[in-house]
Amino acid sequence: MKQKGRYIEGFRTWLQVLNYNKTSIQTYPINIERLLSYMAENEVPNIESITGARIKSYFEYLATLTSQTGQPYKLGTLRVHLTTVKLFAKYLRETGQGQIDVPVQYCGKTDYKPAILTESEIKTLYESIDDNLLGIRDRAILAVYYGCGVRRNEGANIRIKDILPDRNLVYITAGKNYKERYIPMVGQVKKDIIEYLTIARPSLLNKEKHEYFFVSYTGHKMPHQSIYGRVKDLLKKAQIDKPVGLHGLRHSIATHLLHQGMKLTDIARFLGHATLESTQIYTHIEADTNKDNNSKQDKKMRKPKYTFSAEIHQELSKLENHLQEKKYNVHTIRQYKNCTGIYLQWLNETKQEPAEVTYKTVIAFIEEILQTYSLNHYKKIIVAIKHYHDSLSEAINPVSGIYIKGQRRAIINDIIDYRQLKACYDHFEVLDDRDKRNKLILSLMIYQAVTTEELSILEPGHIRLKEGKIYIPAHDKINSRTLDLDASQMLGLRNIC
């Protein structure tokens, strides 16, 4: 194929500019070289001649190949090749070198499950840390890679100015595709980071001068290979025999957060995932972990905690679909299904149909379960059956309006008034284009009350400069709305768009 080398080197440079990691920069061009060689062998003269049918033919060819072990390519390997080809198509499109249609899709689950540490193993890892300067740095490494869940290169490229203790945040600037995000830094994580910053780092730095957060014993920037080495040393010392590295710590915190009830969408935002597809793997990890734990605790056939009839399970599947649409995680869905099963079992015993339930029926059910379950448990049951009746699309939910006395609610305090907010905006220092953008974001948050979640889903098409308005799409339980912009905001948005 003509100019094959130019395409490959151009693609490699494009990946470097977009801040892809070194492994991707090495591997993806090799995959594209294989694609272009295949096309040349099949007498495809140029990029313009690569059709969707030929791309399909290429992936059929890949499926016939075997790995170094003599086994056929696994689904995960084929998906990596598909990701590479799609990325190459994007490169060609964005650089004006042509269009490639990639009508290939792989369904099903891969066998790959990343190794993770359990919460008790994380505790053991911390306990293995020495009480010295390098130990303080080791705690900071775990705080950043486990506590903050950052990627390998993101952690290695954190600078001093990215640590924002007054705001309890870590600012990530070296993410994939140069995407930026803020990560919360609280509790022990914050304590370990600040202790390293104020005690260990100045001593390790010695006479060297640079802004990178992690410092080697020679005072230079600590490369990610050295950080990985420290984690491996800790694992060996803690006698944890698992193939876990820096990314394994990231997988571990994501799985633990999911197990603790955090929504999948919030975990995706925490990790910096562009789509939920990347985050879905943790639902499978958690399910497998639960299976392993159950088998270790009791290898005998055990009766499940909740046993329901087939009819009730059919009703619970409606609730499950409803909760999945609302992006609840698997742990919460399982809890709500069990709680609703108790309710449906009671309806069966009292010979009542769900569609005929009234407010009085629900009160009668509550009075009965008060004798059996704790206060917290029956509060969960009430929330669960509210969702169940919502899933039935009834005109009036018989559970709505039922609230439990003594329920604790968060009280908002230390609210900043309008004068303070305006002063915050007026005194925001602008030194470069990034500051201009951040000040514009601040103005939208102050004057239009736009949330960070809403900012993350804004698209260029939502900005209506001719009308002097901005459209905020609906999300979660918030309706869409159209807001007025002032002149300074319009000017700032025009420069960005």
Identify the band that residue 175 occupies on the pLDDT scale cut at 50, 70 and 90. Answer: low
* Location of structure tokens 């990946």: 15
pLDDT of residue 126: 93
Tell me, what DSSP letter sits at residue 183?
Answer: E
Helix %, strand %, coil % of the chain (to 5): 60, 5, 35
Judged against a pLDDT cut of 60, whether residue 300 lies above it is answered with no
Distance CA 223, CA 246 (A): 12
In-domain check, residue 13: yes
Judged against a pLDDT cut of 90, whether residue 229 lies above it is answered with yes
Q: Strand order of the sheet with strand 481-484?
A: 463-464, 469-472, 481-484
Under 8 Å between Cβ of 212 and 221: yes
Tell me the pLDDT of the chain averaged across its residues.
Answer: 82
3-state class of 98 per DSSP? coil
* Location of structure tokens 């060609």: 92
Distance CA 86, CA 80 (A): 10
Q: Give the highest mean pLDDT range of 33-37, 310-314, 322-326.
A: 33-37
Q: How many Cβ atoms sit within 10 Å of the Cβ of residue 447?
A: 18
According to DSSP, the β-strands at 469-472 and 163-164 are: unpaired
Q: Are residues 424 and 353 in the same domain?
A: no
End residue of a domain, out of 269, 284, 299: 284
pLDDT of residue 304: 44
Distance CA 346, CA 349 (A): 5
Q: Are residues 352 and 443 in the same domain?
A: no
Q: Are residues 276 and 346 in the same domain?
A: no
In-domain check, residue 400: no
Q: What percent of the chain shows pLDDT beyond 90?
A: 24
Distance CA 489, CA 497 (A): 12
- Counted residue by residue, the chain has a size of 497
Q: Annotate 347-366 with b (16+ C-beta within 10 A) or e (fewer).
A: beeeebebeebeeebbeebb
| Side chain identity, residue 310 | A
Identify the band that residue 36 occupies on the pLDDT scale cut at 50, 70 and 90. Answer: very high
In-domain check, residue 21: yes
Distance CA 447, CA 424 (A): 12
Which tens digits make up the pLDDT trace of 66-89?
877 778 888 878 888 998 999 999
Q: Are residues 189 and 144 in the same domain?
A: yes
Q: Are residues 369 and 468 in the same domain?
A: no
Q: Are residues 262 and 125 in the same domain?
A: yes
Residues tagged active-site? 151, 176, 247, 250, 273, 282
User: What average pLDDT score do residues 195-212 get?
Assistant: 90
- Structure-block tokens of residue 111: 């066998």
> Which H or E run includes 402?
none
In-domain check, residue 112: no
In-domain check, residue 451: yes
pLDDT of residue 211: 93
Q: Are residues 21 and 59 in the same domain?
A: yes
Judged against a pLDDT cut of 80, whether residue 111 lies above it is answered with no
- Structure-block tokens of residue 481: 């709305």
pLDDT of residue 303: 39
According to DSSP, the β-strands at 469-472 and 169-172 are: unpaired
CA-to-CA separations, 87 to 97, 100, 111, 251, 347, in angstroms, rounded = 14, 10, 23, 24, 54
Structural domain for 14, as ranges: 4-94
Number of structural domains, the chain? 4
Judged against a pLDDT cut of 90, whether residue 134 lies above it is answered with yes
Identify the band that residue 414 occupies on the pLDDT scale cut at 50, 70 and 90. Answer: low
Q: Are residues 147 and 266 in the same domain?
A: yes
End residue of a domain, out of 267, 284, 301: 284
Identify the band that residue 220 occupies on the pLDDT scale cut at 50, 70 and 90. Answer: very high
| Side chain identity, residue 132 | N
Q: Are residues 195 and 229 in the same domain?
A: yes
Q: Which residue has the higher pLDDT, 304 or 356?
A: 356
Q: What is the CATH number of the domain that holds 447?
A: 1.10.443.10
Tell me, what DSSP letter sits at residue 372?
Answer: T
pLDDT of residue 11: 92
pLDDT of residue 5: 87
* Location of structure tokens 């439990």: 404
Identify the band that residue 291 occupies on the pLDDT scale cut at 50, 70 and 90. Answer: very low
Phi/psi-derived region of residue 2, left when phi > 0, alpha when psi is between -120 and 50, beta in every other case: beta
pLDDT of residue 458: 85
In-domain check, residue 101: no
Q: Are residues 126 and 267 in the same domain?
A: yes
Q: Strand order of the sheet with strand 181-184?
A: 163-164, 169-172, 181-184
End residue of a domain, out of 266, 284, 302: 284
In-domain check, residue 114: no
Q: Are residues 168 and 277 in the same domain?
A: yes
pLDDT of residue 159: 93
Q: Are residues 338 and 234 in the same domain?
A: no
| Side chain identity, residue 61 | Y
Which tens digits make up the pLDDT trace of 361-387?
888 888 777 666 666 777 788 888 888
Backbone phi, then psi, for 143, in 5-degree steps? -60, -40
Which tens digits make up the pLDDT trace of 235-287?
999 999 998 889 889 888 888 888 777 777 777 788 877 664 555 555 444 54
> Which residues make beta-bridge pairs with 17?
none
In-domain check, residue 102: no
